[in-house]
């Protein structure tokens, strides 16, 4: 019954979105400042933001796409983001890259599905984007075609996202709070921004939009059918998490009881958090546990 409700809701939304596309234009390209990109820093940002985890499959070349994301709406496949001019992003301009990452709009002017967490990348600065762009251009091009998404009607009607976006896109949650410490605010930026922890640990509504008001309350009905635990300070403390063992878990994947992360968190650790600076892990722990730091 719940799946039928989801389908019915999205059928209506996508159908209306296709009909009213002209009345719901996508955001125009942003003005972007020019910087000399730092490929090394960009590679770090790619780890932090989960780019490598999603865009590298076990059977293909790194960054060449193909990794599936299964959901109730169908299966999404991460595209090739190597500098290959035919199959990757080698033919893109820097401005097109920025619009894709921060605004979720392709070079052809089509909206990306929110399976790509562009909402969380909106806070990346122009310098961040220049560094990411430098890192992308530094990797070898892979002549591997991007696999098309496997979505049935009406989810395959991409223009329906023009209506979905103004209804369900999340508000920015990375702004600093002056009454909190510096480490807490950096952690907030990382967790609620590029590290996009909320993409899995915040509940979603029937249409797949995030329920911002619930915070990091966990999602009992994730898009892939799994469950994610709450990451609120109260919930973490109740489960025995401290700053020290949380940092250790994000670095190694080993839990306080000696067990290991399972499911998608295994990939998150192996491809992202294991590579992060200790200071950034400390900041994330300070925010998640609401420490006065």
154 close to 227: Cβ distance less than 8 angstroms: no
The stretches of 118-274 forming alpha helices (DSSP H) are: 118-121, 126-138, 161-168, 182-192, 198-201, 233-238, 243-252, 264-271
Per-residue tens of pLDDT for the chain, all 293 residues: 555 555 555 555 555 555 555 567 788 888 888 889 999 999 999 999 999 888 988 777 889 888 888 888 889 999 999 999 999 999 999 999 999 999 999 999 999 998 899 999 999 999 999 999 999 999 999 999 998 999 888 888 888 888 888 888 777 888 889 999 999 999 999 999 999 999 999 888 877 788 877 789 888 777 666 788 999 999 999 999 999 999 999 999 999 888 998 888 999 999 999 999 999 999 999 999 999 87
Q: Which CB contacts under 8 angstroms, 24+ apart, belong to 55-58?
A: 55/79, 55/80, 55/81, 56/271
pTM: 0.87
Backbone angles phi, psi at 153, to 5 degrees: -65, 140
Cα separations (Å) of 206 from 8, 13, 69, 164, 176?
10, 11, 18, 12, 30
For residue 98, what are the β-bridge partners?
none
**Domain edges within the chain:** 37-168, 182-288
pLDDT tens track for 221-277 = 776 667 889 999 999 999 999 999 999 999 999 998 889 988 889 999 999 999 999
* Residue 32 to residue 81: CA distance in whole angstroms: 21
Fold assignment, 182-288: Cytochrome Bc1 Complex; Chain D, domain 2 (1.10.760)
**Omega within 30 of 0 (cis) for the link into 154:** yes
For residue 260, what are the β-bridge partners?
254
Cα separations (Å) of 65 from 69, 148, 277, 280?
11, 11, 26, 27
Residue appearing with tokens 């839990």: 255
């Amino acid at each position: 019954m719940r799946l039928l409700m989801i389908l019915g809701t999205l059928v209506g939304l996508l159908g209306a979105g296709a009909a009213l596309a002209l009345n719901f234009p996508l955001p125009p390209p942003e003005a972007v400042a020019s910087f000399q990109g730092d490929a090394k820093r960009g590679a770090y940002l790619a780890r932090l933001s989960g780019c490598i985890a999603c865009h590298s499959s076990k059977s293909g070349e790194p960054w060449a796409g193909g990794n599936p994301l299964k959901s109730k709406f169908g299966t999404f496949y991460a595209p090739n983001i190597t500098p290959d001019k035919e199959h990757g992003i080698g033919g893109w301009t820097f401005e097109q890259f920025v619009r894709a990452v921060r605004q979720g709009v392709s070079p052809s002017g089509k909206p990306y599905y929110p399976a790509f967490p562009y909402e969380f990348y909106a806070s990346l600065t122009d310098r961040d984007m220049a560094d990411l762009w430098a890192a992308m251009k530094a990797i070898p091009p892979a002549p591997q075609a991007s696999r098309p998404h496997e979505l049935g009607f009406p989810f395959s009607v991409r223009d329906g996202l023009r209506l979905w976006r103004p209804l369900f896109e999340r508000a920015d949650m990375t702004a600093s709070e002056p009454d909190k410490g510096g480490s807490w605010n950096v952690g907030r930026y990382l967790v609620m921004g590029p590290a996009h922890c909320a993409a899995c640990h915040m509940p979603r509504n029937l249409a797949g939009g995030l329920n911002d008001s619930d915070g990091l309350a966990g999602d009992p009905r994730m898009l892939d059918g799994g469950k994610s635990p709450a990451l609120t300070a109260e919930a973490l403390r109740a489960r025995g998490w401290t700053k020290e063992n949380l940092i250790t878990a994000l670095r190694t994947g080993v839990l306080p009881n000696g067990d290991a992360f399972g499911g998608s968190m295994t990939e998150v650790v192996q491809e992202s958090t294991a590579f992060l600076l200790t200071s950034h892990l400390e900041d994330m722990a300070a925010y998640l546990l609401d420490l006065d730091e």
